[in-house]
Chains A and B, each alone.
Chain A
Amino acid sequence: MFAFLFVGRAAFAQQARLTGTVISEEDGLPIPGVSVVIKGTFTGTTTDINGSYTLPGVSPESIIQFSFIGMKTMEVTYSGQLVIDVTLSPEATGLDEVVVIGYGTVKKKDVTGAVSTVGSTTIDRLKPVKVEEALQGTITGVNVTPQSGAPGAGLDIRIRGISTNGDASPVVIIDGYQGDLNTLNPNDIETITVLKDAQAAIYGTVGANGIILVTTKSGKKNMPTRVDINSSFGMQETTRVLPLLNATEYAVILNESYAANGQDLPYPDISGLGEGTDWQGELFESAPIMDNNVRLYGGSNNMNYSFSASDLRQDGIIGGDKTGFQRNTARLALGADLASWLKFNSTLTYTYINRSSINDFGLGSVLFNAVNMPATVPIYLPNGDFNLAPANLGIEIINPLQQIANTFNDYNLNKWNGNVGFDASFAKHFTATARIGFNTTTDKYKSFSKQVDYGGKVFDVPRSSVYESRSNYNDYTFDAFLTYDNTLDKTHHITGTLGTTVYKNWGDNLGATGWDIPNNSWEFADISLANGLVDSKTTGSFSYDQRRLSYFLRGQYDYRGKYLASVMIRRDASTKFGPENAVAYFPSATLGWIISDEDFMGGFEKLNLLKFRLSYGRLGSDKIGDYRYISTLNGEGTYVLDGQLVTGRAIGPLANPSIKWEQSQQFDVGIDLHYFNDRLEFMADYFIKTTEDLLIGSIPVSGIFGTSAPGAAAPTANAGTVRNSGFEFSAGYRGMVGKDFSYQVNYNLTLLNNEVLEVKNGTGFVDGGSFGVGQPLPARMQVGFPIGYFYGYQTDGIFQNQAEVDAHPSQIALGAEAKPGDIRFVDINKDGALTSADRTNIGSPIPASLMGLNLTLKYKNFDFTAYAFASLGNEIVRNYERTQPNVNRMAYIMDRWTGEGTSNEVPRVTTAATANNIFSDFYVEDGSYVRLQRMVLGYRLPENTSMKIGIREIRFYAAINNLFTLTKYQGFDPAASSGAPVGSGFDDGFYPAARTYIFGFNINI
């Protein structure tokens, strides 16, 4: 693809003067501002307004380098010419670049669906620990939420909203076979392509939540071996510490709450209490993170190879060595041309993961204890032992440092995955591809329950035990397909693809508990040493086997590259579908119109591309439970006879023989616009995604069916519909100022609207989530509202005096009669009384908009990158405050109501019965946030300096992750989410994200 022209006029001179002109291949016009440099020196100049340059003092055999942004860099060896004229052609990183779309590739220009990519450059700039993090803020329509800030924690990806109340995660295809993102080393990835609309329909029943296609790095032909080394070291600290009461403030509040209920003051003398224990300060610590990667790659004439290895170690900011994550990978990729018509490619990856964790989520987690422990309680007793949490704090709260000291667990994973594939161009216009990819994983987990007495708490362990589990997971994906590609008459370009995919996923697990660990110590915690006996079953196991068989056909057509169309259809059969619905069909179509190629658009010179896209299709999801169409006796029916446990047999979950896949109809219309030699890129999409036949599991049914018996559950039925609609917009601009400074700015915006259209289960809603202790379920999937919206009471300030209480309907049904200082709830249905029927929509965890902004600046050898991400409109429920009279409180309680007119937001404190703790919008906070994910400043050593020691490039960099988060949310981290469609958004004390200060280097040899 090199099209250059050079005219050389021979002349012989040493250290001569060189002149010439640079023109553009596209229009033949001269290009000003082209950098003309003698390679390896600082000698250079730029072309003037006429595209001409003059370079004095050029020695023979030097290489003249011509570079300009957006153009391919040209190098010409000087061998005595007087004049070197050069024609530059546009860089292929524009529209000729090839994009993977599933069972094939298309040129970026010809893409007719909503497809976005993230390349290795972006991944390298973000240097995520887990791949999913690279999709946050970089692709429109994609929302990534961490499940916890703990090392090794998982992340949930949602493409174009939450389209199901089941598993809404997209399927990941790695090098053509189904795989898993969370064990991948991000440094091994070349590109990630996200198929967001009906373009994914070729994946049929796995396409409804979007498809993520990952292409891993391979070697390059005709390249001498290169070595890339990437290393970094960072220190992590917490991004947030909650403002809590100190010992004196706590005593004041407690005295007031006891007095309000007529009880004696617990702290008659508060003068000597001072600050007390800073539990959070004791728990949070700085923790290191180290990441080392090396890669060797290259290729000969008909072979290419890439070998890489990595080691990542991360400690947690809470828990020291009790929360740690280690990942080691080794990977080999080979490609070879076995014959001129036969290509072979293969990869093999080994991954090892080791992880330990603490209770970091929910009632009883370490942070929950730290937040609720009063500052008046010292951590240690005078003799050095841990101080037990007082009994008057309830039975759950324990000393969090003691909790960590008594937590022992270990998780190890060994995974092999790889693929082998052949592409045979066996006849003109025909290519046959056959490939098989596999994953096989074994993991083991051990957890030691040390015998410990916390002083009458629910976490007391009277008898030590160890739990061990071993699992084995395997799967393979086999593809075989035929591609026909031909251009008739130079105007009609046709591509046809016909093929089959076979997928099998199977595995098993064995778990066991051993009792009475010698010396009550982790060193001896193993089933081989645990000789204690119990009367009940101590072992458990499960196994599964799921398969899918698919056939697909796709036809693509374009007329002179201007009018584009494609149609596809896929047939799927899966073990998950009931016998009445065994086979599914998914058709779809996409259209494209490159308006900028039309004659009537000739006048717009600067316009490189204006493309209009349209797509519509049906996709499916089979992420439902197994064998829901069979009623099996896997319930629990245990009784006690003759003083012994006797096991019976009972029906488990109720069956549904007509169970089928979830189906989504997706519509997308979009525009792509490239301007100024592709320097300005702009993309906009509008989409509507309606997903029906949602598998609502455990559909609440009448209790008469016995579904709440032990081990039983209500049936799953296809009974719901959800619609996601929205707008995606992204804009990017890159430019240069002078020859030394270049910049690139990208902004993307996604606006999302989610609404549940149907829930056919008798009551019209499904509830879930949990708030407080013993309170009704606080989240719902209900017609007319976003999925998972918060269902509770609306508040209207605080009662300031008794007259206001009397003027308001009675709140007795909510738990207690209101008194001045209590929250006033709104009588939504205006029936004159506050009852559970007055609950309403008080918020939603789904953000209304997501934004990403990133900036890259380069000046000479310095580079600077900043990535920021924002989520706006999502709400979070504050659920980490234990409603118990003696626990610690958040600092906002200092603004409580203490008399008429003192506060209209925070109610009075008292130990008496009030309705203030029921789920209402008092607990719902705005979780919108802007987070500066990453800022990197790098310096590349000048080439001639590094070349002296034989290294192509050395770059040092300093980076900060999560430098700041702007948010009104009071909790630990507004980004974290449990990922559940109904029930997320309730913060039980999320382990917060870490701010990391990193120093690292890249060496490319």
Chain B
Amino acid sequence: MIKNIFNKTVLTGLLFIAAFFFSCSDDFVKVSPEYSIDSENYFNSQDDYYMALVASYDLLQATYVNVIVGEIASDNTLCGGESPTDVIGWQQIDDMIHTPVNSNLKDVWNWMFAGVQRTNYFMEFKDKIEFEGKAQMIAEVRFLRAYYYFELVKWFGPVPLKLDKRFQLGDETSIPRSPVEDVYAAIENDLTLAIADLAETPPTVGRVSKGAAQALLGKAYLYQNNPAKYPLAAAELEKVILSGKYSLATNYNDMWEMEGENGPESVFEVQYTDVEGAGFGCLQCSEGNVAVGFSGVRGYVGPLFTPGFSFNVPVQKAVDAFEPGDLRKDVTILDIEAWAADQGASYTTGNEHTGYFNRKYLPRKRRPEAQNDLNLTNPNNYRAIRYADVLLMAAEAFNRSGDDAKAQTYVNLVRRRAFGDLNHDITLTGPALLDAILQERYVELMGEGHRFFDLVRTGKAAEEIDGFVTGKHELFPVPQEEIEFSNGNWQQNPNY
């Protein structure tokens, strides 16, 4: 009897000891995730830096929204789309009735700051190790940061600046919106330092060249509307011109096709491809040019092009802006009625149908390798800075600094390519020359997202854009959520 109990107890006791051994200590639950890389212990090799650099480039592809909304906001195009409520945020910007509650403006803010944050991640660890080629990489990162901040300051005006480290939780209530001058100063600083270390020809196609940084710096100087900066702009832009690395494409049409990508006129081009799938759940993730699909001809069936969502439709006024004989007109504007009649193509009409489409960035025939959603994966690169743009900016900068001779030289290079002859040179001077240069920017850069900002900085927005209210619409409103997050630290832009 006693033996029985003894055996029972011993057996069970042993069982239990075994059980508790098995169950072990709290270390059992301390597991590190398999196959993951910790962000604070990164940057241990050149390859690590390169990958972080590539990630910093990624957000350039999200600037499609800056381009298409820049066009829609201007007098170049109407919003269009399927119906009057298709992408309400864009419709409202088109009619200048937008408010701080606008998901598309929120996208611009979010995606550009995401770009800033990725560049800041790189810069935070830039001194961790040394290797050859690091200076070039740092220079590219500086360019990218300047590019993103330039977009932010154009769209929203004063924005919070942080340049040494990533933004941390708490910064939104403590870091103020820096005044526009300070933001530009930061952009200028980044670009100046970058220019020193950038190669004239980048290591791979798509990366930043010295010329790109100089062009962007010149543009930043020019856009500030500060007479002291015009000579600086002129000087910087002239360096790009005199470098001899860029030239105007002789065939204006081919420049916009696939074969013309990264051509001699490209000073900086945002790269896209069609081999990765994309969905509406994450438009900023797409490796394709989302703006192109959105601008396509609705229900199109026919040669050369493929259909799209019929947004961003050019207006008659823009079409009429081209002088007779301007070879750029038929490349910039697609007259769909004429084309359809001529080519036997068919199409349907969307909201605010004007009969015209932005031909430079229209979906072309797709490869079989192209991934779905086809509307979101168009491979058309965005020619962010073209040599023609550099020439026109230089012309404007020189004119504003008093050197009309140089201004005429540069603007006429563009004119001669546009008309294919020497009979359309501009010989005006002074303010009339300025107007002519600005008019040339209007037609040369139509469809590329610059018009709105050119009108704003030259004070012409109110007379050209319907509904534009001076003192309000020069800047877009800071997203309402950001104002709320800042808890009083950031104030809204005036009159919103």
Contacts and interface: CB of A to CB of B under 8 A. Distances in A.
Given A392-B299, A637-B51, A706-B114, A626 B487 contact: no
Most buried by A among B12, B106, B482, B486: B12
Interface in B1-23: 5, 8-9, 11-13, 15-16, 19-20, 22-23
A762 B39 contact: no
15 contacts: A424-B12, A456-B301, A480-B20, A502-B22, A502-B24, A535-B273, A573-B26, A583-B26, A636-B285, A638-B276, A702-B172, A703-B106, A708-B107, A709-B59, A915-B85
B29 A547 contact: yes
Interface in A908-942: 911-915, 917-918
B35 interface: yes
Interface of B: 5, 8-9, 11-13, 15-16, 19-20, 22-26, 28-40, 42, 48, 50-61, 82-89, 91-92, 97, 99, 101, 103, 106-107, 109-111, 113-118, 121, 160, 162, 166-167, 169, 171-172, 204-207, 271-273, 275-277, 282, 284-285, 287, 299-301, 307, 309, 348, 351, 366, 368-375, 479, 481-482, 484-487
Contacts of B53: 648
Given A500-B19, A632-B38, A700 B481 contact: yes
B275 A535 contact: yes
A634 B36 contact: yes
B103 A632 contact: no
Contacts of B309: 395
Contacts of A573: 26, 28-29
A105 interface: no
Contacts of A582: 26, 29
A639 B299 CA distance: 30
Contacts of B205: 641-643
A650 B26 contact: no
Given A456-B307, A582-B29, A642-B204, 8 more contacts: A391-B348, A427-B5, A458-B375, A462-B372, A500-B23, A715-B169, A813-B97, A816-B84
Contacts, number: 305
B7 to A, nearest CB: 9
A544 B57 CA distance: 31
A534 B101 contact: no
B83 A543 contact: no
A737 interface: no
A706 B58 contact: no
Contacts of A458: 372-375
B12 A432 contact: yes
A146 B61 CA distance: 41
A301 interface: no
Contacts of B11: 424, 426
Given A391-B299, A500-B20, A536-B371, A640 B206 contact: yes
A704 B170 CA distance: 11
Contacts of A801: none
B403 to A, nearest CB: 38
A545 B54 contact: no
Contacts of B87: 774
Interface in A450-498: 456, 458, 460-463, 478, 480, 482
Contacts of B56: 637, 648
B102 to A, nearest CB: 9
A679 interface: no
A60 interface: no
Given A648-B58, A650-B118, A702-B486, A478 B299 contact: no
A545 B171 contact: no
Given A639-B60, A645-B273, A648-B51, A705 B485 contact: no
A911 B116 CA distance: 43
Given A392-B299, A426-B9, A535-B273, A703 B479 contact: yes
Q: Which 3 A-B pairs have the closest CB atoms?
A: A637-B55, A913-B84, A648-B54
Interface string A626-657: 11001111111111111111111111001100
Most buried by B among A426, A460, A654: A426
A641 B369 contact: no
B167 A836 contact: no
Nearest to B482: A702
Most buried by B among A461, A626, A651, A816: A651
B275 A549 contact: no
Nearest to A816: B84
Contacts of A773: 86
B485 A641 contact: no
A775 B85 CA distance: 9
B9 A650 contact: no
Contacts of A706: 113-118, 166-167
Contacts of A730: none
A812 interface: yes
Contacts of A575: 29-31
A500 B24 CA distance: 10
A271 interface: no
A3 to B, nearest CB: 31
A689 B33 CA distance: 34
A502 B28 contact: yes
Nearest to A516: B368
Nearest to A703: B110
A776 interface: yes
A639 B55 CA distance: 7
Most buried by A among B48, B84, B101, B366: B84
Contacts of A638: 54, 58, 276, 287
Contacts of B375: 395, 458
Interface string A541-573: 001111111000000000000000000000001
A815 interface: yes
B12 A548 contact: no
A574 interface: yes
Contacts of A626: 33
A110 B108 CA distance: 63
Contacts of A341: 8
A434 B101 CA distance: 59
Most buried by A among B11, B25, B55, B92: B55
Contacts of A775: 88
A528 interface: no
A649 B83 contact: no
A632 B88 contact: no
Nearest to B490: A702
A776 B91 CA distance: 14
